[in-house]
Structure 1
Amino acid sequence: MIKNHLKAAWRTMVKDKTYATINILGLTIGLAACMLVFTVVIDELSYDKFWSRAGDLYKVNMSDKMADGLYKKNVYTPVGLGYGLKESFPEMEHFSSINTNELQLRIGDDDQDGIRLNVINADTNALAMLNFQVLSGQLVPFVAGHQNLVITESFRKRHFEGEDPIGKVVEDVPSWSNKSQSYLITAVIKDIPPNTHLRADAIALTKPSDGGDLTKAGIRGGTSVYYLLKPGTDARVFTNKINTWFRDFTENPTEKKGVTFDLQPMTDVYLHSDFNGRQQVKGNIRTIYILSGVGGLLLLIACINFVNLSLARAMKRLKETGVRKILGAERKQLVAQFITESLLFFVIGIGLAIGLYALGIPVVESFLSHDLAGTLLSSLPVFALTLLVVFTLSIATGAYPAWIVSGFKPANTLRGKVGQNPVMNTAGLRKALVVTQFTISIVVLVALLVVRQQVDYLTHKDIGYNKESLLHIGLRNWEGKGETFKTELTKQPGIEAASIAGWNLVNGSTGMSGTIDHPLKEGEKIDINYIIADFDFAQTLGFELQEGRLLDAAYGTDAYDLYATMGMDKEEGEQYKNTRSSLVTASTARMLGIKETGVPIPKLGYSAVGILKDFHHESLHHSLGPVFILGQQNPNYAYLFIRTTPGMEQQAQQSLVKLWKEFYPNRLLDAQWVTDILDKQYEAEQKQQALFSFFSGLMLFLSAMGVFGLIVHAAQQRVKEIGIRKVLGASVAGIVRLLSTDFVKLVLIAVVVASPVAWWIMNKWLEDFAYRIDIQWWMFAAAGVVAVLIALATVSWQAIRAAIANPVDSLRDE
């Protein structure tokens, strides 16, 4: 019986090649795209779940409660907290300081610039928390004399092919000072899976610190600290114990009232660390929701196509089915026949989709800039589950058309009286499905327009300074030679100005920050960012002075000495600040009620001698906050900004490299263009734009294919009507209009339905940005016009073919 069903299904496909091609192509594209999307989703959700003790690993974060009830979260916590808790609570098994950063490692003597690699910096306690598979060498004990370096197998193959690296001493190319850090390679481990926020090529091990960063007087500094709790420990209960213990331990009244700690599961760090601007590898849970929705919608559109075409084609098979019922076929046999056809379509579709999926994986990995930890084809259980889902989907999708087609009365059908037949009543369903398809496509198309406009807004908005032809060098210890280096640099061809300042453009952090009582709002606190910079800062960046003057070394009060304040008591420190000058931004002046320059600001000190036009020291995801610029003659620990002459950027870089080697011959020079740094801040949005471009095109294509199949069916059903109309004098344009009108109406209904849905979704998406566009009416109009034009082009092509056909052929009796 099954063999007969398969033969009949195959013959049906061969007989109507247009119908078969549209169905198979739609299913192939829909299934392949859905598989690729959900591979990425599964990969994103799998981060850090491969550690053997993943369920017991937690990252500790610290929150400071502000006067307005809000919390400011900090990812850095004192290592000393771990020591205190380990002594007091049996639930604590291990804790370790674990961070990631980039390292420039010099492998050979001729390798002057070194090899860039990602490194996990951790103390040896991490080895008891994170399971690494050793291939050669040994992780413990710690070998004194050098920092111990554990490299991965792939790193060894790339840089130590044919030799044993164990016992070799390598050095980094320092960026902070002239002295290199030496590393002893002690082990080679199996590659760390890419689905971890601790993605790295090596592990740099140190001995655990002494925990001196936590005293009863208060917290000093901190780092990223991870805890391993004993199995079965309730993290919520233990979090309460941590905070109770800390309140009893500290004697600092501010920390006793305002500081709290929380445990973040290791498996949540990747997707739920939006507050950590320094984390190198991180995702976003909202991206997962978007991808899941898009993948599901793609598959839905493909299935709608299948159902729609199956229902439409059922009209051609009424007599066939009627004859089979008269000859004794039962309804369940007819249902089995049609479901078998559905299964055959899905089997062919999934076979082709798997091939397309395999070809698409490298493209996806290139787009994501990292390898996927696994695919649907690499795991037998996951692959089996995929096939089961497709099998279930094929049954569910084919069941409704099969049930409808098999349920009519054969006597009425054979007489041509099918007006009351259930199949005839499916026109409304088919129309609803077409509306659904185009509604989804239009929503995604509107999303594309909104994302594109937002990205364009972010990249072109005035940020308050001239970002063009500007170079940025990372944090350096200038060893007291910074001012001399800067002066010599400005003498070089192609370089107009330079400034040393405590402002990291990569993550927007400033050299110093603090929380003060709000001068205008009693009982409320406000965060202040301070940029300590030399006196050429404003001119180099191109800030616009709106009122007052710029900082000038000629004024003794314009110079600020951070280290001098460290030796002062509170009263001396306040008196010193009251005599210091600063620059503020226009929004800072409004926030703090600064109405005249040169007057100390209540509760803050620092006289604002000049007010600058607002500039964004962070990405446009963040709103403007109070910013003070303090002048320092020769900052020693800061970043360097270099203004180059437009058109002479290459010459300026050559001059920089040459002078750098004279002043700092052993140190790394890592200069980046500010425009490149700022573009990377919106890399996630740019990728979302690319995704929406691809998916909106794919959805419109699938929707157009469905409409094409329906118009082919409609033209076939009305072939005699069209022939009669032509004989009676109807024009080609009139017949095209006749066949096109109904479909265009459906698309227009889809525009009406999709517009409020798209507006709501994209308003939610825009809430992530402090500075965002307004959604305009033309975005919905443009999406609607594109959808209508695509539908019209699809319909018109087949309608014109039907309209220009010879009526003699269409009116000839069968």
Structure 2
Amino acid sequence: MSLQTRTVFRQLWRQRLFTLLNVLGLAISISACWVIYRIVSYEYSFDDPLPQKAHVYRIVTGLIFDEKETYNGGVSAPLYQGIREQVTGVDRVVPVFGQWVNSVEIPGPKPVVIEEFKGVVATDATYFAMVPYTWLAGNAATAFSAPENVVLTESRAKSYFGSLKPEAIIGRVLLYNGKDQRTVAGVVKDLDYPTEFTAKEFFVLSPKTYKLAEWTNTNGSDRVYLHIRNLADTGRVLAQISSIAKQKWDENTRESGLPIMVKRWFKLLRLEDSHFSTYVREREVRKVSKPVMRGLIGLGALLIILACINYINLSTALVPQRSRSIGVRKILGSNSGHLIRQILTETFVIVLLAVGCSFLLTKLAYSFLGDIIPDGMHEHAGGWGILYFLALLLAGITLLSGGYPAWLMSKIKPIGLVQGQSAVQLSGGSRMGLRKVLIVFQFVIAQVFIVGALIMGSQLNYTLKKDMGFDKEAVVLVNVPWKLQRDSLYRNRHFVLAEELRKEAGIQGVSVGWAPMSNTYASSMFEYRGAEVKDPARRQLFKKYVDTAYIRLYNMQLVAGRNLRPADTTNEYVINEAAVRALGFSSPQEALGKLIGQLSGPRYPVVGVVKDFHQQDFHTSIDPVALMAEKSDAVTLNIKLNSADPGKWQQILKTAEQKWYGIYPSGSFSYKFYDETLAAMYKQERNQSRLVNLAMIIAIIISCLGLFGLAVLIAFQRTKEIGIRKVLGATVAGIAQMLMSDFIKLIFIALIIASPIAWWAMDRWLEDFVYRIKIEWWMFVLAGAMATIIAMLTVSFQAIRAALANPVKSLRPV
């Protein structure tokens, strides 16, 4: 070991408290930055290996529904044929149509039936030209030569046929939905990279003649991809697609004679942007927001900057103590370059130790973050990217953290030793202006995060506690599985079950109908043609299929009229106040008895009006809604438990399960408490809040470490002053208060700077909520009080220790 290396480790050991604080501060920030890098690199790696990815586009459908703009990830099914036949400038048109499969039977001596699974699409050979798979058996040309063929991925083939080799699977027969027989014609290896092409089974999409009306439909599971060689042609390609669709739309309007109240258009979405297209509505497709990813990158950079600032503060706090030894070394011949190298080497060793510690902290972070970590991230190793990232981080932090302390120590003038200057004078003065600025910066960031955590927590609490227009407490939802709904043996049996459950003492009520607020909904264009109106009033209304117990169970308030009467099909409506206004009625009472209905459908009277209630989350305004009876579409049991005796809920649910299995087969019972379902709707907001809370904790810890270093420095520099004050009669409390007053000023300055920044950031975040809290003054006062208390607790130990020091020792000549 060289002399310089021994000197470095000797110095680190001599100042082991500061070494530990530096390692801890850097390790916390590095581990946070590491986790962020893993998340961001994973999300940005979707479909990277795809050849000519930049030339692949998706067609998405834009719609204006009820004066609201939205995008659907699907298209009209016939559109791909029209593009192939009429659009120029497109090299490849790839349809990927989702298929509904209820069950798959694997024939054999003992047939095996697998139920309710996903990942089945219908496509053609162009798909495998766009997305290159490794064929383990068969090939694209032969696999799509017959309409009854099916191609399986390796994982799906193993789930069906176990350890059979791919070659042995070719020719095997599968029975879909109990009637659709298909022959395995190919097996491909699963894609080993993050991708939106997640299908596991591929049916053959055979050309067919579509009805004219199908050109006006939009199915979210029917995707169409285009390969456009010349990217400059995208505008012209889009114009041709729009022209074809408009022509078919107009033809259907003339043929049907019905006006279509929906405005529709198309957009070419780059495949590179597809994973980030959160504005496109698609079921069961995980997407992420680019602004959120950029925010994570900024958060990682900010935490690293905070750690570097912390290191600089702690390192410069040691300058007065090291100035005499550095001055002696300069007198003995060491030059500035040698000192700078030594300080940077010390910094490198500390950063290296911090990187090692961050391995453990990263593991802890993964367990803490839980569902914030994207699925599949751990399987995505990242290759050399992680090593490059860590190397860049190591070098960057070493230079950022060690550069200023190294420069500062190299400026110590050895002549001061001869002149009898103090250690503080040797180190360049005692104003500490830069260090105070850095401390203020740290606490500005910390207070922004504190305010953010308070406001986010308040908004999330508001969304769950605010009156939603219905009573969600003690309600359990039980859905009838789709397979049982379609099975004639069990059809409408849930109404029998509802009657049985109503007899239980611990159940206050049972309603069969759609939940008031959910992520799924149905809507139709309704109109009112009254003699007193010149033109018919038309408006898109949400539809909810309910029974007569629904309004009472959810404690909805009837502001006019009466409840629905028992019926198997719709023959009257109860609407909300928003629907009253949307259809042009001046009051709920005026709406009673008026005939409304869906376009081209029968009209039925409005018999009641309920007070407005939320149908979707708080990002969306309350929309017009119509409650109606439709027995065939009401498939959810809404069970109201006795809220006065929650201790018996589990026993009641066990009884409900036993009654369920008296009607339905075993293994099909599943329930959810409705308030938990509503809370799950705000998963993204909760995750953002958790990240802000974590960032707040990290920022506070790092800021406090910096404060501790500054407190040590101030106590060291004011040692003689403290001794003189004690000799003159100053109390310990008075001296401690004097030392802490400087920090209170810094915290106050930080609060003044942080408040407008935090207000602006949180106001922007709250803009996404139609129903939101107000940003109150007390939130900033509370944030300032929290920061002040934390800071005082951090520096009080050092301040009291300095105040208790023996003044004789502090006044002894140096």
Q: Normalized against structure 1, the TM-score is what? A: 0.84
Q: 1:123 to 1:78 in 2, by over 3 A?
A: same
Asked whether the equivalents of residues 502 and 638 of structure 1 are also in contact (C-alpha less than 8 Å), the reply is: yes
Aligned to 2:524: 513
Residue 716 of structure 2 aligns to a residue whose secondary structure is helix
Q: 1:84 to 1:663 in 2, by over 3 A?
A: farther
Which residue among 591, 595, 605 is the counterpart of 1:597? 591
Q: Which moved more, 1:113-122 or 1:50-59?
A: 113-122
CA distance in 2, matches of 1:522, 1:285: 45
Q: Which moved more, 1:278-287 or 1:651-660?
A: 651-660
Percent identical residues:
27
Pairing of 1:104-143 with structure 2 (within 5 A): 118-125=118-125, 126-135=127-136, 141-142=143-144
1:491 aligns with 2:517: no
Q: Which string of whole-angstrom CA distances, capped at 9 and with x for unpartnered residues, describes residues 395-447 of structure 1? A: 23322232233235443464255888883276111111001101111111111
Aligned to 1:619: 617
Aligned to 2:387: 383
Amino acid across the alignment from 2:543: Y
Q: Which string of whole-angstrom CA distances, capped at 9 and with x for unpartnered residues, describes residues 592-627 of structure 1? A: 342213343689765322111222222222111111
Aligned to 2:638: 642
CA shift for structure 1 position 458:
1.6
CA shift for structure 1 position 292:
2.0
Unaligned runs of 5+ in 1: 561-579
CA shift for structure 1 position 792:
0.4
Residue 61 of structure 1 aligns to a residue whose secondary structure is strand
Pairing of 1:547-626 with structure 2 (within 5 A): 547-553=560-566, 560=570, 581-594=572-585, 595=587, 596-600=590-594, 606-626=604-624
Which residue among 351, 354, 358 is the counterpart of 2:356? 351
CA distance in 1, matches of 2:710, 2:382: 38
Q: Which moved more, 1:667-676 or 1:308-317?
A: 667-676
Asked whether the equivalents of residues 151 and 203 of structure 1 are also in contact (C-alpha less than 8 Å), the reply is: yes
CA distance in 2, matches of 1:51, 1:332: 50
Q: Which moved more, 1:159-168 or 1:316-325?
A: 159-168
CA distance in 2, matches of 1:724, 1:18: 28
Aligned to 1:292: 297
CA distance in 1, matches of 2:419, 2:427: 16
CA distance in 2, matches of 1:102, 1:811: 87
CA shift for structure 1 position 657:
5.0
CA shift for structure 1 position 535:
4.0
CA shift for structure 1 position 683:
1.4
Which residue among 386, 404, 419 is the counterpart of 2:408? 404
Q: Which string of whole-angstrom CA distances, capped at 9 and with x for unpartnered residues, describes residues 679-728 of structure 1? A: 22111222222222222112111111111122122223333333333333
CA distance in 2, matches of 1:310, 1:103: 66
Q: Which string of whole-angstrom CA distances, capped at 9 and with x for unpartnered residues, describes residues 99-157 of structure 1? A: 4989777889999996775424343453333333344576751597978362443x677
Aligned to 2:397: 393
CA distance in 1, matches of 2:724, 2:218: 91
Q: Which moved more, 1:377-386 or 1:496-505?
A: 496-505
CA shift for structure 1 position 86:
0.8
Asked whether the equivalents of residues 213 and 219 of structure 1 are also in contact (C-alpha less than 8 Å), the reply is: no
Residue 424 of structure 1 aligns to a residue whose secondary structure is coil
Asked whether the equivalents of residues 216 and 251 of structure 1 are also in contact (C-alpha less than 8 Å), the reply is: no
Q: 1:145 to 1:163 in 2, by over 3 A?
A: same
Amino acid across the alignment from 1:487: V
Pairing of 1:117-516 with structure 2 (within 5 A): 118-125=118-125, 126-135=127-136, 141-142=143-144, 148=150, 150-153=152-155, 162=163, 166=169, 189-193=188-192, 195-199=194-198, 202-203=200-201, 205-208=203-206, 210=208, 212=210, 218-219=216-217, 223-234=221-232, 235-252=234-251, 258-276=263-281, 278-357=283-362, 360-361=365-366, 367-368=372-373, 370-372=375-377, 378-412=382-416, 414-417=418-421, 423-424=428-429, 427-467=432-472, 468-473=474-479, 476-477=485-486, 479=488, 483=492, 485-492=494-501, 493-494=503-504, 497-501=509-513, 506-510=518-522, 512-514=523-525
Q: Which string of whole-angstrom CA distances, capped at 9 and with x for unpartnered residues, describes residues 449-496 of structure 1? A: 111111111222222223232314166447597555403431245455
CA distance in 2, matches of 1:301, 1:639: 54
Aligned to 1:569: none
Q: 1:711 to 1:170 in 2, by over 3 A?
A: farther
CA distance in 2, matches of 1:216, 1:152: 35
Q: Which moved more, 1:44-53 or 1:733-742?
A: 44-53
CA distance in 1, matches of 2:661, 2:192: 38
Aligned to 2:29: 30
Unaligned runs of 5+ in 2: 254-258
Asked whether the equivalents of residues 120 and 204 of structure 1 are also in contact (C-alpha less than 8 Å), the reply is: yes
Pairing of 1:696-715 with structure 2 (within 5 A): 696-715=696-715
CA distance in 2, matches of 1:28, 1:130: 41
Asked whether the equivalents of residues 306 and 442 of structure 2 are also in contact (C-alpha less than 8 Å), the reply is: yes
Aligned to 2:256: none
Q: 1:597 to 1:113 in 2, by over 3 A?
A: farther
CA shift for structure 1 position 323:
3.5
1:693 aligns with 2:696: no
CA distance in 2, matches of 1:679, 1:649: 20
CA distance in 2, matches of 1:582, 1:465: 18
Q: 1:105 to 1:768 in 2, by over 3 A?
A: farther
Q: Which string of whole-angstrom CA distances, capped at 9 and with x for unpartnered residues, describes residues 259-300 of structure 1? A: 211111223223222341624322223322332232122111
Asked whether the equivalents of residues 134 and 188 of structure 2 are also in contact (C-alpha less than 8 Å), the reply is: yes
Aligned to 1:81: 79
CA distance in 2, matches of 1:488, 1:363: 42
CA distance in 1, matches of 2:653, 2:182: 31
CA shift for structure 1 position 302:
0.3
Aligned to 2:544: 531
1:764 aligns with 2:750: no
Q: Which string of whole-angstrom CA distances, capped at 9 and with x for unpartnered residues, describes residues 299-337 of structure 1? A: 111000111122222223333333444444443443333
CA shift for structure 1 position 43:
1.5
CA distance in 1, matches of 2:739, 2:399: 32
Q: 1:438 to 1:222 in 2, by over 3 A?
A: closer
Asked whether the equivalents of residues 32 and 357 of structure 1 are also in contact (C-alpha less than 8 Å), the reply is: yes
CA distance in 1, matches of 2:116, 2:420: 77
CA shift for structure 1 position 231:
3.0
Q: 1:101 to 1:797 in 2, by over 3 A?
A: farther
1:546 aligns with 2:554: no
Q: 1:617 to 1:216 in 2, by over 3 A?
A: closer
Q: Normalized against structure 2, the TM-score is what? A: 0.84
CA shift for structure 1 position 379:
1.7
